[in-house]
Amino acid sequence: MEFDKDTILQEHSHESQFGVVLNGKIDLIINGEYKTYIKGDSYYIPKDVIHSGKIYAGYADITFFNQNNRYSSKEM
C-alpha cells in the first residue's frame, strides 16, 4: 500500500494483518497500545483486535491479510 497524503484510520477490526514498513511513518493503536512504526519496522494485528491510527504522506508498506477476498485484483 502507498499513501500520498495523511490518512486517519478509524477504529475497526478484521482478519489478522501483518505489515512491513517500506517508507515513511505510521502511528497505530492496537488493542489500546500506541506505537509508531518507521522504515524497516513490522507490525502484527491479530484477528478481531480493534485498531486505529494515522498514516503519514509518503508512507508505503507491504501488507498481508489473512483474508483471500479482501481486495480485488487490479488490471494493469
Domain ranges of the chain: 7-65
Question: Tell me: the pLDDT tens digits for 6-56?
Answer: 999 999 999 999 999 999 999 999 999 999 999 999 999 999 999 999 999
pLDDT of residue 39: 97
pLDDT attached to residue 65: 82
What is the structure's pLDDT at 67?
Answer: 65
CA atoms of 21 and 38, how far apart (whole Å): 6
Residue 70 has pLDDT above 60, yes or no: no
User: Which residues lie across from 2 on neighbouring strands?
Assistant: 60
CATH class in words for 7-65:
mainly beta
C-alpha to C-alpha distance for 54 and 39, rounded to whole angstroms: 15
